[in-house]
Amino acid sequence: MKAALILLSAVALLGAAAARPAGDPPFGSYWHDGKAEIDGYRYTLTRYGQPRRGECVAVYVTEPFSKSKNVKVDDAARNPGDTFDVLKLNLVRDFQLWGGKIVIRKFDTPRELAALREPIVINCTGLGARDLFGDQELIPLKGQLTVMPPQPEVNYHTNGGVPPVPGASLGIHMMARNDGIILGGTSQRGVWTLEPDEDERKRVVDSHIAVFSAMRAPGRHA
């Protein structure tokens, strides 16, 4: 199988990991220094009845989180009273289970890609390609999801029911999962901020309320 290199715009965060200092440093000075910690493990996983050995990389990093909205915030200084730091864990077990390897490199110019040994390069830099390749035609389409508490009796999905807002939304949709009920339907062209849009959240929630309020119970007819 040919080797392939996947370019990820978030890989610079992983490159900031530092060696663990000796002793037991204060929690705040260690986890709030703007760097990530990378831990590696070897493991055995049973899949399709066969034990499979692999390596797992756990990436720990702190990031600001909103108390009221339960999402990562873009600018913690805007509302410090509503913001606290959480310890985030990213696992790349599945990627490495199938033979993937992580190599941290920085590319300043596209010309540096020509020196790579891999015959296949998959560009997954997303909006980062705007700067890396000078592609000013790239623009964001901001999505947003609202997570409701899980309900065991809700074991189905819905799609549509109300007209989308032209240029600002998709048709609304609901996805029921074991860890929550996901409401979506947002697509805001040219919006760069990561801050939640309260008006959009309310529109999506109210639209779902309207859809379910219009439903009839089984066996009932107008």
**Residues 94-128: tens digit of each pLDDT:** 666 677 777 777 777 888 888 888 887 777 777 87
- Alpha-carbon distance of 27 to 56, in angstroms, equals 25
**Residues 35-69: tens digit of each pLDDT:** 777 777 777 777 677 887 777 777 777 778 887 77
Q: What pLDDT was estimated at residue 184? A: 92
Per DSSP, 154 falls in state: -
Beta bridge partners of 47: 50
Q: What pLDDT was estimated at residue 95? A: 67
Residue 70 burial class via C-beta count within 10 angstroms: exposed 0-12, middle 13-18, buried 19 and up: exposed
What does the domain layout of the chain look like in residue ranges?
Answer: 4-132, 141-213
Most trustworthy range by pLDDT among 7-16, 73-82, 115-124, 178-187: 178-187
- Alpha-carbon distance of 18 to 36, in angstroms, equals 7
| pTM for the predicted model, two decimal places | 0.51
Length of the chain: 222
- Alpha-carbon distance of 134 to 122, in angstroms, equals 17
| 3-class DSSP state of 171 | strand
